[in-house]
Amino acid sequence: MSMYDPQYKEIREMVSKFADSEVAPIAAKIDHDGEIPKDLIKKLYENGFMGSYIPEELGGAGMDYMSYAIIVEEISRGCASTGVLISAHTSLAMWPILNFGTDAQKKKYLPGMAGGNVIGCFCLSEPNAGSDPGTLTTFAEDKGDHFVLSGTKNYITNGRDAGVAIVMAKTEKSSDHKGVTAFIVETKTEGFHVQKLEDKLGIKGSTTAQIWLDKVKVPKENVLGELGKGFKVALSTLDGGRIGIAAQALGIAEAAFRYAKKYSTQRIQFGKPISELQAIQFMLADMSTAIAASRLLIAHASYLKDNKLPYSKEAAQAKLFASESCMHITTKAIQVLGGNGYTKEYPVERHFRDAKITEIYEGTSEIQRIVIAANELKNL
């Protein structure tokens, strides 16, 4: 199905209404309080936004990835913290269970995560393993019918509130990615500790936790995918996650653009609205073009994923372009508002702070360029 199919327009209208009425009005408060209200999270579940991509028989809404990306974009337009709650939960925690899990794992975990208020998180990064995750040192010791996981995981989105965590740990000692295994870990298990919460520049309503795994017992049936093949689980999960972050960046950019555009028609300088000045018009034109291009790249990567075609490069391109555009657009939105844009009375300073992380998490812009170049160079 193409991105122009009317079903996507309908989904966008539905989510857009929700974002305008339930999310955007409290986004400044979420940013200020550093907390997404539980009541809003409940509504996200009730509307099917937390389980959009999960098949109906597993408790989800049975939508495709294109629809999921629209949901993340529209919710992020309302509030970037709420957008990444959905994105990390869906792409990084539920998708690997759906794609690599056994039937028993899917039936055990996905209904609760899709519709039963169980939040998911993804534990790959460590204090000394960020862009180079193959060097992670969390170890899973084989104890016969279970493993015992020990280590520290960093920058875990949803880490404080998750009920289910996808955890990457080594089941063989190695200095590179070999021997990494993925596990489904229930966070209520003894030894799963939220060690600290990060105080961040933006997406302040999204919790970012350091997790200490202190001899966490995980049954053998919770190995996700094959033993020793967890690096592939992690990297292919991130391929899909990057489409979600691109959609989050697009939502933030759209919010900043809409605000700046409207403001420019109301702000009078030199005896006329500043929207009549070509300097402002050119900024708006560039913002509009980058937003349109981001949306097309996201739709293209989603289309490939939905049609089971390779999408690693295209997901990286969507994330790279949408996140760097978002940073530029939010910078220019402040410029359009001038001094007002720099104050907390106006929302564009929040959009600017929220934008920066999209160039960093789920692979920095430099990592996206590595992925894109590697894919190009293998096709000579």
Binding site for ligand CAA (CB under 6 A): 88, 122, 124-125, 131, 133-134, 155-157, 177, 231-232, 235-236, 238-239, 312, 361-363, 367, 370-371
∠ at Cα 231 (229, 237), nearest 5°? 110
- Helices and strands (H, E) in the chain, number of each type: 12, 10
Nearer to ligand CAA by Cβ, of 122 and 147: the residue is 122
Nearer to ligand CAA by Cβ, of 5 and 366: the residue is 366
3-state helix, strand, coil in the chain (%, to 5): 60, 15, 25
How many other C-beta atoms are found inside a 10 Å radius of the C-beta of residue 362? 30
H/E stretch holding 124? none
- C-alpha span between 72 and 243 (Å, rounded): 10
Nearer to ligand CAA by Cβ, of 66 and 367: the residue is 367
Work out how close the CB of 193 gets to ligand CAA at its nearest, in angstroms, rounded to a whole number: 17
Work out how close the CB of 271 gets to ligand CAA at its nearest, in angstroms, rounded to a whole number: 48
Work out how close the CB of 196 gets to ligand CAA at its nearest, in angstroms, rounded to a whole number: 15
Nearer to ligand CAA by Cβ, of 119 and 238: the residue is 238
DSSP for 225-269 reads SSTT-HHHHHHHHHHHHHHHHHHHHHHHHHHHHHHHHHHHHH-EE
Work out how close the CB of 368 gets to ligand CAA at its nearest, in angstroms, rounded to a whole number: 9
Residues with a known catalytic role: 362
Please, what's the b/e burial string for 254-288 (b: 16 or more CB within 10 A of its CB; e: otherwise)? bbbbebbbebbeebeeeeeebbeeeebeebbeebe
Nearer to ligand CAA by Cβ, of 88 and 348: the residue is 88
- C-alpha span between 22 and 75 (Å, rounded): 10
Work out how close the CB of 312 gets to ligand CAA at its nearest, in angstroms, rounded to a whole number: 4
Nearer to ligand CAA by Cβ, of 236 and 275: the residue is 236
The one-letter amino acid code at 86 reads I
Work out how close the CB of 239 gets to ligand CAA at its nearest, in angstroms, rounded to a whole number: 5
Please, what's the b/e burial string for 197-235 (b: 16 or more CB within 10 A of its CB; e: otherwise)? eeebebbbbbbbbbbbbeebebeeebbbbeebbbbebbb
Q: What are phi and psi of 59, to 5 degrees?
A: 95, 5
